[in-house]
Amino acid sequence: MKFFFTLFIILFSVAQQHVAARQVRVLSEKVTFNGNVNTTQRKSLILQNDSNESATYFLRYLRGNIGSSQNILICLGDECYDPREDLSPIRFTLAPGEIFTDLYIEFELGITATKGTFDLHFFNASNIRDAFVIESVYNVTGANPIDNVSHKDVDMGSIYPNPSVRTAQLDYKIKNPNAKVRVVINSFIGNPIYDFNLDPNQETLLIPVTDLNPGTYFYTLIVDNKNIVTKKLYVKR
């Protein structure tokens, strides 16, 4: 009997230590990103320090499946960081009882319809047992038809990914093979960069952007020398 009483005391003590070890409550629900390909969403996270002591937390690791065309940034106020490149700047201090609202996740949903999850694991800098996890899920659906252009001679989507880093892709379908269909890309001040004649036997145009400086560009659909629509292309590094 004495053995079981001693065991109970030990287990109760461990449980109490575990409860005491955790100081932060995640007040926001599981973070969910639902949207179309080639879009970016930003979600706010709300944390509360339940203890009467201040504590500094840092992001120790990111777990989950994030696609090659997707991008994630962790933002503290106006400063954003890529957790896959450098975790060290992603830290913050919570005062006793503080409700913290300056933590955000900015997520680029990528270029293909897909689903997935990822978790952010935060730890107390001075007490590794004090930790919390932010769970995130995403559901990426197909392109938004509102972004598509329908002309009597050609249907054209929007460039993706946008922003682009290496290669941008533009999907189209030429309905009149006798029409002269072009896509012209200009710099922000109007200087011509590329002039592509769209092949009626193809349905995809690949645009190399590695030689372009980061910034904003414009691409224009031209049918039989008439401008149909102009949209923006963003290039980043």
Q: Which amino acid is at 99?
A: I
The two structure tokens encoding residue 126: 């001075």
Type and span of the H or E element at 213 = none
Identify which of 166, 134, 155, 140 has the alpha carbon closest to the alpha carbon of residue 25. 134
**Residue 62: helix, strand or coil by DSSP?**
strand
Distance (Å, whole) CA 173 – CA 218: 20
Distance (Å, whole) CA 202 – CA 177: 11
- Rounded mean pLDDT for each run of 10 residues along the chain, 237 residues in total: 46 42 79 85 91 94 88 92 93 95 91 88 93 93 69 90 88 94 92 94 92 93 92 89
Apex 103 CA angle, 101 and 107, nearest 5: 130
Tokens 């955790």 belong to residue: 22
Distance (Å, whole) CA 48 – CA 25: 5
pLDDT at 39: 80
pLDDT at 1: 53
Distance (Å, whole) CA 72 – CA 129: 26
